[in-house]
Structures are given as structure tokens and as C-alpha cells.
């Protein structure tokens, strides 16, 4: 049976540090950032690990993400919502993927 572990973050910037850490690993894999409206809350989440042993990192907010990407500065961890991919080589540009439906049940 697949096991999911949920980690809820107090601040979005803390959760985004998981993306920076993943991008700096040997595999260089950048997790996808998803947005879904769940129980009238806006949930941003990423999945790490493998199928059957996954960890769901999530953050709950009252409003939907204002733009389509997050510009995430690799060195400082600072972030900003932006409309598209920019030219700053020191930043990761992470798309915010809007989901309509998911089988995940977030413990809010």
C-alpha cells in the first residue's frame, strides 16, 4: 500500500526551500509546484520521493497565486510571483500548475 507523508508549512518561503535543495542535489530534479482549491482554501504543494513512498509538502493560503510563475532566487531563497520565465541565471522559474482535481486529501 502506498504511503503518503504530509508536511504542512507555516510559511511559503520555507516550503520553496525544498525546491532549491532538490535543484542542488546530484539528480538536479526540481519538483513541480501545484495549486488546487481544496475545502475553499488555496493549497500550494510539491511532491518529493517516489511512488509508494512520497512526501507531500504543502502550504495553505486564503487567496489564489496572483501570477503563473514563482521566481525563486537560488542563493537567498527570496521569491516573487512573476508572469513568465525571466533571464536571471541565479533564479529558478517555477511554474504554478493549476489542478482541477486530485485524489489527495490535505489535512488542513
Euclidean distance between CA atoms 16 and 108, whole angstroms: 19
For residue 89, the model assigns a pLDDT of 93
Reply yes or no on whether the pLDDT at 1 is more than 60. Answer: no
Euclidean distance between CA atoms 28 and 26, whole angstroms: 5
pLDDT band at 49 (very low <50, low <70, confident <90, very high): confident
Residues 73-88, mean pLDDT to the nearest whole number: 95
Euclidean distance between CA atoms 52 and 50, whole angstroms: 6
For residue 3, the model assigns a pLDDT of 81
For the whole model, what pTM was predicted?
0.89
Q: Is 76 helix (H, G, I), strand (E, B) or coil?
A: coil
Euclidean distance between CA atoms 73 and 82, whole angstroms: 13
Residues 22-33, mean pLDDT to the nearest whole number: 83
Q: Is 22 helix (H, G, I), strand (E, B) or coil?
A: helix
Amino acid at each position: 500500500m502506498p504511503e503518503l507523508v504530509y508536511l504542512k508549512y507555516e510559511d511559503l518561503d520555507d516550503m520553496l526551500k525544498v525546491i532549491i535543495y532538490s535543484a542542488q542535489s546530484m539528480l538536479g530534479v526540481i519538483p513541480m509546484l501545484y495549486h488546487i482549491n481544496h475545502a475553499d482554501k488555496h493549497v500550494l504543494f510539491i511532491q518529493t520521493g517516489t511512488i509508494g513512498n512520497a512526501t507531500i509538502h504543502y502550504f495553505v493560503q486564503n487567496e489564489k497565486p496572483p501570477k503563473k510563475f514563482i521566481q525563486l532566487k537560488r542563493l537567498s531563497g527570496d521569491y516573487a510571483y512573476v508572469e513568465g520565465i525571466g533571464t536571471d541565471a541565479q533564479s529558478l522559474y517555477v511554474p504554478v500548475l493549476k489542478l482541477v482535481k486530485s485524489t489527495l486529501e490535505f489535512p488542513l
